[in-house]
Each structure stands twice: as structure tokens, then as C-alpha cells.
Chains A and B, each alone.
Chain A
């Protein structure tokens, strides 16, 4: 199918289902967001329309779309102002690992369960003493017959409350060099030996958890990429969906910027030249995302090298978001001092950005680790 035909199909489908659609949010779904009935119905509609997991092979329910085609679909949804949710880490992290390293049996068994929503994954990588230096993790996995028995302590687990499965990185060969004795295991969280405890976050919500794992069992069939090969699996490149983000993320940041402009206008704050100047600086960064997204799409289409653009993307959007969140409150002046009325620690959308953006500067490889990666892998500086 040509990209134009695909775009036309997406537009027609969105128009036909607009009544059920969840309107596009800001740049990110709130960290502790729990899908409601509206979200679930929209997800069902997208599933029926085959607008989820677009890059997957058709055999597993995808459309086998290329990077360029995923970009086209994302742009159509973004332009229509309609959410096209991802299935969390199940789609963005686990599925690419299964597709790259899983056996045919694992793909047939596990991928449909992700697409249907029966399995929802959270990430079991970080431990109390293992953050950026992931390869030093201590959680043990012992093979006993047809199972892997896992013992350890995982923490800072996003979506831990919503997940029924965890992709765990654990040490299955304590004598091997530290990158070589690890396995990537899909562990059911609903069995014995797992105690999931929510952790209250900077926002007051419970966007992540910690898990005390004491002899919990996963079938050996749930080891992806083979025993002691977990490091390679964990480092799987994130595939076509990742390139799809860089080209359409502009729309979300633009919506947030416009929303801030609207609030400041209603507060009469735009009369302040200092506020306008600071807003213009943020607007520059938003426009740069648009230009860079467009360029990344063109470079990929031309078969060119977009590695540098993809490598710098995470730092750039997360740094922008931190700056934008701070600006959003600064620009409002004293109005930023007060949260919305109501029970608990309620926060408005801008207070949420100011708080949550700090986490995205740390997660997915801190921005300092990202700089090391850029310097070593893109610029070729010595380790």
C-alpha cells in the first residue's frame, strides 16, 4: 500500500470513529494514568481497526509497516487531534525483544496476548543498588526443571500496579562475567512469591512500584533469547515505533505550548515582556522538534542515516519538557502557587509537567548516560 493510500485509510477511519475517540493529550500520558472506560473503548476500536502495533508482522495482528509508514499514520492521528495509544512497555519494549530474539513458539504465544491486552508488562530492571549500571544487578534466577525460580528486589517499576507480567533481568550464571550471566525472563506477577508495593511519587500519585520477589516461578519457555543471553535482549533496538515518535511528538508539545499560551492570555500575563521572551525561547524548541521530526522522516525515507537524530532526541525532548514545566509555572506568577481544589494532592496539567518532567530526564537512560552514548557511539570518542 502506498503511504498516500495508508494516510487516506487512516483519515477515513478516524472520521468514522471520531465520536468514540479520546482527544489527544499533552506530550505524555500522565505517569499514574489509569485507563478509564472511555480509554478502554477507544483502545478496543483501535484494535478492531488494526491501528495498534503497526510494525508487527501481519501474522501477529500488525500491519508490517515500515518506519516511514508508521510515521505517516502517527501524523494523521496527531493532526486529527486524536490519541493513538501504545500498549505501554508491552508494545514499546517487550514486543521488539520478542520479535528480535524470541522463538516462533514464543512469538505465536506471547504477541497476541499483548495485542489483546491480556498481558500487560512492566519492566523489572532497576534494583535498589542498580540504576544506570544495570549489569551489576543482583536478582537471581535458578533453573529447576522446566522453571526459573527468581529471587530479588526490583524497584522504580512504572505501571507495576497495572501489569500482570514483568520482564525481569536476572542473574542466572553467577560465575560468568557480569554482562554474560543474565537472562531476560517474562515473570507472571499474579503467582506466589511476588509482593508488589506502590511507591508514592513526586506528583503524589503512585506511578511506580517496588517488588519483593521471593522464589517466584516463570516457565523456562518464558526466557527470551536463551539462558544467559539477557543483556543482548535487553539492549534490543526499539524498532520502527521509535522512529515514529520523533516525527509526531511535535504535535503534543505544540498542544501543551498552545494550552499554556491560552492560560497566560486569560490571566493577562502576556503583557509582561519577560514572559513573552521566555515563551519565545520555548516556542523555538517546539518548532525545532517539528523541523527535526520532518527531517528524520525524510532521512529515513531517503535511506540516509538518522542515527544521530534518534540518539539526541531523548535528551532534547526531556530537557525541553523540564524547562517548559518550570516556565509554565514561572510565567503564571503567584497563580502557580496553588493547586486545584479537591481531595489528596491534586495538580493541574502544568504542575504535572513541572513535576513529572524530572522523571523523564532520569528514566530510559539518564541524560548523562545518554550523553556518554552519543559521545561514544555517534561521535566515536573513546570509552
Chain B
């Protein structure tokens, strides 16, 4: 376990930061998010070809880089700074995590880092690593701890899918969709479906950099990927929360950086506004919130890697709840104060801050609101709901 970013991880961070600075400056993001698909396909191709982004988590056997959560956290933090319009959270994060955690050999440890997946899952991972697919995840058997509302899909013995799933990230442009559904045995199972064979509606998302769709399944053919997958699904979603948290830390850091830069250069009353304590203290409070949040994400990512080792203790469920209960709050507060420090400029469409404000809010709402994860944390720590 090492929570400092050094060596290859630092190099990965620099490479991604350089590429995004050149290819996804704020005006490019603002333009791409208002295209019909809300996506920048050239940027996605560039991230695929130059950095192998979709295959980051995909094991080497399937043509990926075989990296783990600490590296993913580094990547997510950079993406969170820039909010590029690419289907990365679906295809490079959610789909590989779901496949690896639900469709792996039983003999492997708690987290499937670096192991291969068999059958259709392996084929799907290979397609992801090769950059041949945009693969979305539809939560048709949604986790009750998130309060429901994400979907309700059942699968027949022949794999035919019936029901609906909503808030499917990148579902409007995906060619394939991994659907969690109640299988014929009543247990959670994962199916792969041709996204074009579901009825899909692009949703008018609050956060234009995070496009999403609603999918209706009416006897849509599904290919079984994993059965009895409830535990694996829970692990995959916990890891996804950590990845989301990393993105939020990156976004919060961007809000802080923009604020400091603005406060240094913007003059009022004949002085830079950053010389006023009222502004200084807002910036200092952002820093003292962002750094511990970053520590939590790094710790959680390292804990996932440590738990994948034989005999490693599994701290991930508690840490994932910590990350999801805290990082979105830090990000939202940072976005609020950044807008305040920028004045009317921060309230304008042309400035990137509203992208962060909206992404921060969508991050609070997505995958269980803050209060639910606080409750989950309490339950993990032994003072949950059963204490009556």
C-alpha cells in the first residue's frame, strides 16, 4: 500500500493531463456537450489509441493494461478536472468492473484485479480493450441500498429481457449494454444485450457532460454473462463509487485552482481580491476539504488492491461508503465557492465552472444520495439501523 503517486502512476497522470490539455480545453467541452450525442468521438479515439484508456482495467490476457484501482483513481482524477465528453465512466470503469467482479473464476480472491474472465465476459473485455465498443451498464436489478429507481428487469430461462432501466450512463450511444437482472432462479444475474434492440430514450440530463438514457426491454435477447452475481455486483459498484470519488476530487481541485488563479489576478478596490481574508479563507477551506477527500480515495483504491492479495482484509465496502458519503459533498461545496469567488463570470455559460457545479450535483445524486451512504457507513461500523 502506497498512497503517494510516484513512478509509473505519476507518468500516467502527466501523459493524460497533457493530452487533455491539448485536446479538451473548456471551449471544446462546451461545444461537444451540446452536440446531439453530447460526445467528442475524436477525443475518445485519441484516448483509446494513445493511452489505451478503455483497457486500463482489462487484464492483459484480454488485450488490456491489467492495471488496478490505484491507477484508475489517478486517471479518474485527471478526467474529473476536465470533464471531457467521452464515454469513459461507462466503458472504461463500470463495464470492466462489472465483468471482472461477476464473471471470474471462483478460486480468485476478493477483488479480481489482474485475473482473466471467461466466456462472453472475456470477449466483451477484449472488445473494450480494443476500443471497438461503447458498453453501458444498466442496473435492472438495482441495489436497494441506493433507494431503488434505477431499473427493474427480469430475464427468462432463454435470456430474454423484460423491464426497464434508467439513468444508464452513455446508454444513448452504447452499442452494447450489460444488464443486471433477476434471473430465472430469482437471483441477480448479468446479461449482455445489443443496445440497439432496446427501446432507448436519451434523457435531458441536468449535467450535459454526463449524458444518460432510459432503456425499455420487451423480450430483448440477452446473452448470459454471470449468474448468482449479487456479491460480485456489490463489489463492482463499491469500486465504481471509489472511481467516482476520484473524479470528484479532481473536479474539486480544479475549482480550487481556478479560484486561486482568479483571486490572484482579479483586482478590486485597487488590490487583488485574493488579498482579502474573506476570499483567502474560502480558498483555504477548499484546500482543507479537498486534501482529506483525496486521501480517502487513495486509501480506498489502495485497499482494493490490497484486498485482492491472498489473505488481505476487505475494507473496501466501508471505504467506498466513506468516499461516496464525503467526496460529492466536498466537490459541491468547492463548486459553490468557486462560483462565488468568480462573481458574475462564474455564473456565465461560457465559463467552465457551471460544468463542475452541475457535475458535482449529479455526483451527489447518482448511485445513492449522501445520506444513504452515511447510513451504510453507520451500519458497517456497528451503529446502523438495527440499533433499536
What is the interface of chain A, defined by CB distance below 8 A to chain B? 261, 264-265, 270-271, 273, 276-277, 279-281, 283-284, 287-292, 294-295, 298-299, 301-302, 304, 308-309, 312, 315-316, 368, 370-372, 374-376, 378-383
CA distance A291 to B322 in the complex (A): 11
- Find chain A residues with CB under 8 A from B371 CB: 277
Q: Report if B298 contacts A (CB, 8 A).
A: yes
Whether B288 pairs with A316 at a CB distance below 8 angstroms is yes
Q: Report if B202 contacts A (CB, 8 A).
A: no
Can you list 15 A-B pairs with a CB-CB distance of less than 8 A? A277-B378, A280-B383, A291-B295, A291-B296, A291-B299, A298-B1, A298-B2, A302-B6, A372-B284, A375-B281, A375-B284, A378-B287, A379-B284, A381-B263, A382-B271
Q: How far is the CB of A123 from the nearest CB of chain B, in Å?
A: 25
Q: Tell whether A271 pairs with B388 under 8 Å between CB atoms, given A284-B322, A301-B4, A382-B275.
A: yes
Whether B383 pairs with A270 at a CB distance below 8 angstroms is yes
Q: Tell whether A276 pairs with B4 under 8 Å between CB atoms, given A284-B322, A381-B275.
A: no
Chain A minimum-CB-distance residue to B374: A280
Whether B299 pairs with A294 at a CB distance below 8 angstroms is yes
Q: Report if B173 contacts A (CB, 8 A).
A: no
Instruction: Choose among A273, A294, A308, A378 the residue that contacts B3 (Cβ–Cβ < 8 A).
Output: A294
Q: How far is the CB of B30 from the nearest CB of chain A, in Å?
A: 27
- Find chain A residues with CB under 8 A from B375 CB: 276-277, 280
CA distance A291 to B294 in the complex (A): 9
Q: Report if B218 contacts A (CB, 8 A).
A: no
CA distance A88 to B263 in the complex (A): 40
CA distance A140 to B381 in the complex (A): 56
Whether A271 pairs with B387 at a CB distance below 8 angstroms is yes
- Find chain B residues with CB under 8 A from A299 CB: 3-4
Q: How far is the CB of A213 from the nearest CB of chain B, in Å?
A: 33
Q: For the complex, would chain B's binding face be called helix, strand, loop or mixed by DSSP majority?
A: helix
Whether A287 pairs with B263 at a CB distance below 8 angstroms is no
Q: Tell whether A312 pairs with B287 under 8 Å between CB atoms, given A261-B383, A295-B3, A301-B4.
A: yes
Instruction: Choose among A273, A294, A302, A368 the residue that contacts B295 (Cβ–Cβ < 8 A).
Output: A294
Additional pairs, 10, CB under 8 Å, beyond known A295-B298, A309-B291: A265-B383, A270-B383, A276-B383, A298-B1, A301-B4, A304-B4, A371-B285, A376-B280, A379-B287, A382-B274
Chain B minimum-CB-distance residue to A292: B295
Instruction: Choose among B272, B274, B292, B383 the residue that contacts A292 (Cβ–Cβ < 8 A).
Output: B292
Most buried by B among A261, A281, A295: A295
Whether B378 pairs with A280 at a CB distance below 8 angstroms is yes
Bitwise, B293-318 to A at CB < 8 A (1) or not (0) is 11110111000000000000000001
CA distance A309 to B3 in the complex (A): 13
Q: Report if B125 contacts A (CB, 8 A).
A: no
Within 8 A of A (CB), among B268-290: 271-272, 274-275, 277, 279-281, 283-285, 287-288
Instruction: Choose among B274, B291, B298, B299 the residue that contacts A375 (Cβ–Cβ < 8 A).
Output: B274
Q: Report if B92 contacts A (CB, 8 A).
A: no
Instruction: Choose among A280, A295, A379, A381 the residue that contacts B377 (Cβ–Cβ < 8 A).
Output: A280
Whether B283 pairs with A284 at a CB distance below 8 angstroms is no
Whether B299 pairs with A295 at a CB distance below 8 angstroms is yes
CA distance A289 to B288 in the complex (A): 12
- Find chain A residues with CB under 8 A from B277 CB: 368, 371-372
Chain B minimum-CB-distance residue to A306: B4
Q: Tell whether A280 pairs with B325 under 8 Å between CB atoms, given A372-B277, A381-B264.
A: yes
Q: Report if B119 contacts A (CB, 8 A).
A: no
Q: How far is the CB of B191 from the nearest CB of chain A, in Å?
A: 35
Q: How far is the CB of B267 from the nearest CB of chain A, in Å?
A: 10
Q: How far is the CB of B268 from the nearest CB of chain A, in Å?
A: 13
CA distance A376 to B300 in the complex (A): 31
Instruction: Choose among A273, A292, A302 the residue that contacts B2 (Cβ–Cβ < 8 A).
Output: A302
- Find chain A residues with CB under 8 A from B2 CB: 298, 302
CA distance A370 to B287 in the complex (A): 12
Q: How far is the CB of A54 from the nearest CB of chain B, in Å?
A: 23
Q: How far is the CB of B71 from the nearest CB of chain A, in Å?
A: 16
Q: Tell whether A276 pairs with B384 under 8 Å between CB atoms, given A294-B299, A295-B4.
A: yes
Closest 3 CB pairs of A and B: A375-B280, A312-B288, A302-B4
